[in-house]
Structure 1
């Protein structure tokens, strides 16, 4: 299973629409200053990265590269805007061509509350600040944008709804011992 790949076992949202016409491809990877970079070169078609879950539709040859960014520098900004993260923060660059559509992975389970689709936005983090964009369509695991412009980009969810939202995630539990006291640490990672 990939870092942000599609979970296959969620029965709560298995009735929610998702498309299946994506050709799954592995990215070329490299490491630049300790950051893992993903790169795809694709001809016309519909593709899904097997590592990130990112999907795209192109009408011509494209080369795109991206990497995951840390949410921590933006946590207070999101809180001030009354939003919370809904998926990974991806820094995407087009080296050649343009995309007709991009489908950003999200971890929000829409099974119990389909109205959450209306509370999703796309966050763009740019040099001069941040901006929000409307989502064109939300499917079971992705938010679709038409003719995207890229920067650091992610799906976010209105904060007031985030406390009662089920998410698709991996659970990691660490137990540590400090001065004979057992300390549990719980981490949730979006799938």
Structure 2
């Protein structure tokens, strides 16, 4: 239910080629108006995050997994998150998009790990998250049979 989330407008830093978002929030459930990430905390928290180009990952990683959402670099600058929810575009009503097929990909110092996540229609929830480059992915074999939701703009 989208009404449970308080929408936050982040500040944007464009000093380098990429936009870095910063936001502070009190305890509760919040959603970024620009990126769609959601977070829940039991105390005040501050975050910085940005989109990362998928090309920055090794080609070996990308041979095994396909993206189901953006690759993000997220840092908690103060406080602790109880959960984070990353946007994805996998259709969860399709059999192959089960919680076992879609995973959270962590990349830290060249090391890759996968974490199980709980899917809702547009978000993948991670409890007590740790941060690195983070994205929602699916293995290549299952990617070929999955359905995805998207928005098409016709001009």
Q: TM-score, normalised by structure 1?
A: 0.74
Structure 1 counterpart SS, 2:98: helix
C-alpha contact (below 8 Å) 2:91/2:97 kept by paired residues = no
Alignment RMSD, CA only? Answer: 2.0
Show the counterpart of 1:10: none
Structure 2 counterpart SS, 1:169: coil
In 1, the alpha carbon distance for the partners of 2:60 and 2:4 equals: 36
C-alpha contact (below 8 Å) 2:24/2:47 kept by paired residues = yes
Q: C-alpha displacement at 1:20, in angstroms? A: 4.2
Show the counterpart of 1:158: 139
Match of 2:91 among 90, 104, 109: 109
Q: Structure 1's 144 and 35: CA in aligned 2 closer, same or farther, altered over 3 A?
A: same
Structure 2 counterpart SS, 1:32: coil
Equivalence map 1:101-180=2 (5 Å): 101-113=83-95, 115-135=97-117, 137-171=118-152
In 2, the alpha carbon distance for the partners of 1:129 and 1:35 equals: 24
Match of 2:27 among 34, 40, 44: 44
Q: C-alpha displacement at 1:78, in angstroms? A: 2.9
Match of 2:81 among 91, 94, 99: 99
Ranges in structure 1 where 5+ consecutive residues have no aligned partner: 1-17, 174-191
Ranges in structure 2 where 5+ consecutive residues have no aligned partner: none
Q: Which has the larger radius of gyration?
A: 1
In 2, the alpha carbon distance for the partners of 1:96 and 1:127 equals: 22
Q: TM-score, normalised by structure 2?
A: 0.89
